[in-house]
Structure 1
Amino acid sequence: MARRSRLIAILSSTALAAVLAVGALTFAAGHSQAEALNKLVPAPSLDEKPGTAGSETLILAGGCFWGVQGVFQHVRGVTEAMAGYDGGSAANAQYELVSTSTTGHAESVRITYDPKVITYGKLLQVYFSVATDPTQVNQQYPDTGSQYRSEIFATTPEQAAIASAYVAQLDHSKVYSAPVATIVGKNSGFYPAEAYHQNYLTLHPDSEYIATFDMPKIGALQKLFPASFLTQPVLVQGVKGS
């Protein structure tokens, strides 16, 4: 199920319902993210100091970028969450090519945030608690392929150190029922996704894919991080619905 938008467009309603039902069963079958939706993972022991800069960025991959973007658009202190691609070159940073699992990219979200309001470590806590199942390898529920891997693309040595320490902390404490598979990599260039992918969760909350796999994450965010939850999402500007 690599090409979600095309798949949803061509499947009959009966076939789509069957595919989503299988995915929903997978979601509820005991994977760590299903558990984490009702369990706050520990905060990182190592975090950045409260910032004075106007803004900072981090780049996260954790499956379909629709849901990851949607989660962070509802986090207080985030000023933009842009869906895109990281891990490959600019020449083939296009959805149809990335969906072949041959370009090296991961569907990613570049998060711009105010470090005076929220820290890098807190954002990683949201990521591991709500946005992704970090134990799945090259997959997030019905979506399979290396473009759906769980990866933190560090933009600075400090980010890499904090993320690596956090992955080790979560593994050591056995928060999940399986080892953490999240990769701590290096940002090799972030390329924004096509306009029709931006703000997708907000524009299409009732689509079967979003309703099944992503809207529960928004509910979990509100439940687990009430002080950081924004009712009105911070949207990518200048993007029209599709």
Structure 2
Amino acid sequence: MKWHRVILKAFVLIALLLAPAASTTAKNEDTKKKGLDVPSSVVNIGKENTFTNPAPDLPRLQPSNFAKELLKSSKVKIENPNLIRMLNESAATKSPFSFGTKATIFLGEWPLNYKSEETTPNWEYQKVNTNFYDNRGGTGNYQIHYVQEAQKIIKGGLTAKVVQAEDVQKMMQQKAFEKVKLPLAFETAVGGGTKHHQVYNIPPTRMGYLYAFAPAVHEKGSLTFGEVFLVMKGSKHRIIVKNVTSQEIGAWIPIQDHLSFSFEARQ
């Protein structure tokens, strides 16, 4: 029985040692799922928006088995969804007559991957509306609420010119979404007549201004470019990347179907 107690104590000790690590891991997973902390002044107007925004275009492409083999053979990480799509559409058949065959095919210069370094929200990225009422002649509080007076289109974009900008935007949008867990799009809109039920009181002898802002995130990181070659030798195929360069890049990406409100009552 004595050795049973020794084993039991060992199990208890291991459990105690692993408990903090497990707790930390769970906490980190919760943080990843939670995303960005949204202030109370920011509301989701997805149901109220009179303009139906399309779902954010995030890369969901899965590489084929052939593409997976090629991606593994590359010494430089490849995440560009359009390049992966091109590899998916390619096919290679192993043939007993391919012995001695050798070819190198230049696939072009591509933005290969993007590494996110900083994702910062700007809750008042662009003003989209102002509701106003003059209550200086009133004898009691006047209540106003948000009503979008005209349709407003909000655009983001890259902070520097790059080749194949659309590919770069998709990679940056994906990395930013993984951090903030909010719908992101480089172009979004708020339809005219969109309303929100929150009421704001304008005291007598005051003028009331209710401002609505479209929020956005500023995504910043490092972009890797390279010349991509498909090398075939017999029945073997691999990807070689040459002339690799990197560039710091930033982008403003609006948060879709969200508005930040700011109310001011002044004389």
Fold-level match, TM-score > 0.5?
A: no
The structure with the greater share of residues assigned to strand is 2
TM-score, normalised with respect to structure 2? 0.21
The structure with the greater share of residues assigned to helix is 1
TM-score, normalised with respect to structure 1? 0.23
Flag the structure with larger Rg. 2
